[in-house]
Amino acid sequence: MNIKLANTLFDEGIFSALYKAGFITTKVFTYREIYLWVQAQMQTRGLTKRQAVLEAGGKFDKDERTIWRALNSFEDADKTLSAH
């Protein structure tokens, strides 16, 4: 899913409604938060994607593969965070 579409669905409350109805799990929210955090670290601190992924693992208490999975779930149209 494109991160821009995901952000729109989040901002409009669609994700929340789907979660409350039982159609999606909290994983969608967690993956989006991970994606946005990694992107912000790359942009603001100049980290490489690999460095940001390693730090995200500690911050979110997730293994490295889960962080990569989150990034790939919301791959941006411009390929800013394309698969490693």
Residue 84 domain flag? no
How does 32-58 read in b/e, with b if 16+ C-beta sit within 10 Å? bebbebbbebbeeeebebeebbebbbe
Residue 83 domain flag? no
What span, in angstroms and rounded, lies between the C-alpha atoms of 53 and 48? 9
Residue 80 domain flag? no
The total domain count for the chain is 1
Residue 63 domain flag? yes
* pLDDT surpasses 80 at 82: no
Summarised one tens digit per residue, pLDDT across range 28-77 is 999 999 999 999 999 999 999 999 999 999 999 999 999 999 999 987 54
pTM: 0.84
Residue 19 is which amino acid?
Answer: Y
Residue 78 domain flag? no
Residue 28 domain flag? yes
| pLDDT given for residue 76 in this prediction | 57
Range of the domain at 47: 3-73
Residue 66 domain flag? yes
